[in-house]
Amino acid sequence: MTKALIYCRVSSTKQLEGSGLDSQEHRCRQHASNKGYTVEKVFRDDFTGGGDFMKRAGMVSMLRYLNNNDHTNYVVIFDDLKRLARDTMAHWQLRYAMMDVGAKVECLNYVFDDTPEGEFVETLFAAQGQLERKQIGRQTKQKTKARLEGGYYAFNAPAGFTYEKVKGRGRMLVHSEPVASIVTEMIEGFASGRFQTKRECKFFLESAPQYPKTASGKLGNNHVDKILSNPLYAGYVEHKPWGVTLRKGQHEGLISYATFLKVQERLKGRAHAPARKDLNKDFPLRNAVACQCGNALTANWSRSRSGKLHPYYICQNRKCEYKGKSIRRDVLEGEFEKLLQNIAPTPELMNIADMMFKKLWAHREGTEKQRIQLLQDESQKAQRVIEEKIAICGRPLKPFDQMYRTAMLYLANPHKLWALGGFEEKRTVLKLTFTNRLTWDRKGMYRTPDLSLPFKVLGDFLGNKNKMVPVGGLEPPRYR
């Protein structure tokens, strides 16, 4: 009996969800049965019919199979001429490749004719398939571009989003929890300096049980880059290859646009107060305070005529009018200590902050319970895997006092940590208290500093503290 091979193909992985491949195989098997052929093997593809057919795994496997069994004259069956290729050149390359190994091709809706006239007609049919493919591609691109220009994202949903049909608006991006919250925390953490490097962001995502990862539990090296540089997460849409400029999207972002811009600045520059090998422990404010010209102050020990060493901070900017004019260490650091003392919130504001942090902590506990419930619902499909995730996700959170006591004590009195701590603690105070270098005014004082988020928020409360205290009063713990 004649042996046959069946080849089936759909144009994309999305079409795998239907019954296209199964129906093609069923029709081809009926054809083989009517012809008295024995079907030896079936090859399938979910790749487009245009371009290089060597990118189609199923087609490559079939050609390899034919070459390894060239002593057998197979019949290759497919249900439509377009399944072979929707590209004229690729069509004939495949036909010749099968002829070389003695394989015969049969199509359910086309009869091959090896005469010159038959080859001409076959070429026309192949060219028609190529024309249709390119026309469909052009129409798809035009529709997709118009969708993008309208502020609707039209490609695969990135991490933290999924598509949902909205009446009158089509498929739109919506938040996909709990991944959306994880991505938001990562991006905002990088913007605020909580995560100093992209590597720390990568470790954070890999440590989140609910975040999708590879089988190894790892993420690609560019994974974090794609998230941090994507304006989609700020609620904006753009696609530079097609000339679609940045515009407000129709979807709700995970972060604000201001946060996105701050992330881009960090990606282009470097983290504030980086660790340097030449930082001298005798000068904790070195590189953390700027001169009026904007250049960071360096520091050194200067020897007097008597041979005694004296510590100074100094500006080395050649264009600065104060270049080489030193500032005594006790003056600069003394004023810094006064600055820390002045920014410490009042006990009343600390009470308000304590209440707010507790509410946020309670909200986080509620979110964790929702995540656990979500995993429990999914356990019906993959019980064993989900139970492992629940075991990790469901660990009880540490008590509020245990987790945040040190942080609250620091907020209440940053000067205390500076005064009693060593060099590392002093550098920590700088990083946690100020977002940029302090600027020293030659009049003998610091200019208004850029405070970090906690102190900035508490400072805003200071201006509205009468409105913030609930009528019922507060009785949280006091901080000294």
The CATH number of whichever domain residue 262 belongs to comes to 3.90.1750.20
Residue 385 has pLDDT above 80, yes or no: no
Place 17 in a pLDDT band, splitting at 50, 70 and 90: low
Q: Which two structure tokens, joined as six digits, stand for 87?
A: 């590209």
Average pLDDT over residues 436-457: 81
Residue 434 has φ and ψ, to the nearest 5°, of: -125, 140
Q: What is the pLDDT of residue 394?
A: 54
Q: Does residue 208 sit within a domain?
A: yes
Q: Does residue 479 sit within a domain?
A: no
Residue 42 has φ and ψ, to the nearest 5°, of: -120, 135
Q: What is the pLDDT of residue 469?
A: 43
Whether residue 233 is found in the same domain as residue 264: yes
Whether residue 73 is found in the same domain as residue 184: no
Whether residue 400 is found in the same domain as residue 445: yes
The CATH number of whichever domain residue 9 belongs to comes to 3.40.50.1390
Cα dihedral sign for 209, 215, 218, 219? negative
Q: When comparing pLDDT for 16 and 253, which is higher?
A: 253
Whole-angstrom distance, CA of residue 296 vs CA of residue 337:
19
Q: What is the pLDDT of residue 271?
A: 46
Whether residue 198 is found in the same domain as residue 130: no
Q: Does residue 311 sit within a domain?
A: no
Average pLDDT over residues 394-419: 70
DSSP state of 380: T
DSSP reduced 3-state for 310: strand
Of 401, 444, 429, nearest to 343 by C-alpha is 429
Residue 392 has pLDDT above 70, yes or no: no
Of 112, 141, 170, the one marking the end of a domain is: 141
Place 397 in a pLDDT band, splitting at 50, 70 and 90: low
Whether residue 114 is found in the same domain as residue 243: no
Average pLDDT over residues 185-209: 88
Peptide bond into 178 cis (omega under 30): yes
Number of Cα atoms under 13 Å in the Cβ half of residue 153: 25
What DSSP string runs through 34-54? HHTPEEEEEEEE-S-SSS-GG
DSSP reduced 3-state for 78: strand
Among 31-35, 325-329, 467-471, the range scoring the smallest mean pLDDT is 467-471
Domain limits for position 60: 3-141
Q: Does residue 395 sit within a domain?
A: yes
Place 472 in a pLDDT band, splitting at 50, 70 and 90: very low
Residue 200 has pLDDT above 80, yes or no: yes
Q: What is the pLDDT of residue 411?
A: 75
Whole-angstrom distance, CA of residue 452 vs CA of residue 429:
11
**What is the overall mean pLDDT for the chain?**
80
Residue 268 has pLDDT above 50, yes or no: yes
Of 365, 354, 352, nearest to 399 by C-alpha is 365
Q: Does residue 177 sit within a domain?
A: yes
Q: What is the pTM (predicted TM-score) of this model? A: 0.45
| Among 62-71, 128-137, 411-420, 434-443, the range of highest mean pLDDT | 62-71
Q: Does residue 152 sit within a domain?
A: no
Whether residue 116 is found in the same domain as residue 210: no
Q: Which two structure tokens, joined as six digits, stand for 302?
A: 């200067």
Q: At what angle do helices 116-149 and 88-100 cross, to 10 degrees?
A: 130
Among 181-185, 196-200, 238-242, 470-474, the range scoring the smallest mean pLDDT is 470-474
Whether residue 121 is found in the same domain as residue 178: no
Whether residue 450 is found in the same domain as residue 358: yes
Among 323-332, 334-343, 443-452, the range scoring the smallest mean pLDDT is 443-452
Of 83, 111, 141, the one marking the end of a domain is: 141
Of 75, 107, 141, the one marking the end of a domain is: 141
Of 302, 301, 305, 276, nearest to 288 by C-alpha is 276
pLDDT tens profile 128-144: 777 877 887 788 888 88
Residue 360 has φ and ψ, to the nearest 5°, of: -65, -40
Whether residue 110 is found in the same domain as residue 184: no
Note the helical H segments in 193-309.
198-207, 223-228, 257-268
Average pLDDT over residues 13-32: 77
Whole-angstrom distance, CA of residue 141 vs CA of residue 148:
10
Q: Above pLDDT 90, what percent of the chain?
A: 15
Cα 20 to chain centroid, rounded: 34
Q: What is the pLDDT of residue 300?
A: 84
Whether residue 58 is found in the same domain as residue 128: yes
Q: When comparing pLDDT for 269 and 71, which is higher?
A: 71
Whether residue 122 is found in the same domain as residue 188: no
Q: Does residue 226 sit within a domain?
A: yes
| Among 12-26, 144-158, 381-395, 405-419, the range of highest mean pLDDT | 144-158
Average pLDDT over residues 263-271: 79
Place 468 in a pLDDT band, splitting at 50, 70 and 90: very low
Q: At what angle do helices 179-192 and 198-207 cross, to 10 degrees?
A: 150
Residue 219 has pLDDT above 80, yes or no: yes
Q: What is the pLDDT of residue 226?
A: 92
Of 442, 179, 214, nearest to 331 by C-alpha is 442
Whole-angstrom distance, CA of residue 77 vs CA of residue 33:
12
Q: What is the pLDDT of residue 274?
A: 45
Among 286-295, 399-408, 446-455, the range scoring the smallest mean pLDDT is 399-408
DSSP reduced 3-state for 276: coil
Contact 25, 6 (CB under 8 A): yes
Residue 209 has pLDDT above 80, yes or no: yes
Q: When comparing pLDDT for 346 and 226, which is higher?
A: 226
Contact 137, 131 (CB under 8 A): no
Whole-angstrom distance, CA of residue 135 vs CA of residue 129:
10
Q: Please state the domain count of the chain.
A: 3
* Enclosing H/E stretch for 302: strand 298-303
Q: Does residue 432 sit within a domain?
A: yes
Whether residue 92 is found in the same domain as residue 207: no
Partners of 290 in the β-ladder: 296, 439
| C-beta pairs of 183-186 under 8 Å, 24+ apart in sequence | 183/159, 183/227, 183/233, 183/254, 184/160, 184/254, 184/255, 186/224, 186/227
Contact 128, 87 (CB under 8 A): no
Q: What is the pLDDT of residue 20?
A: 75
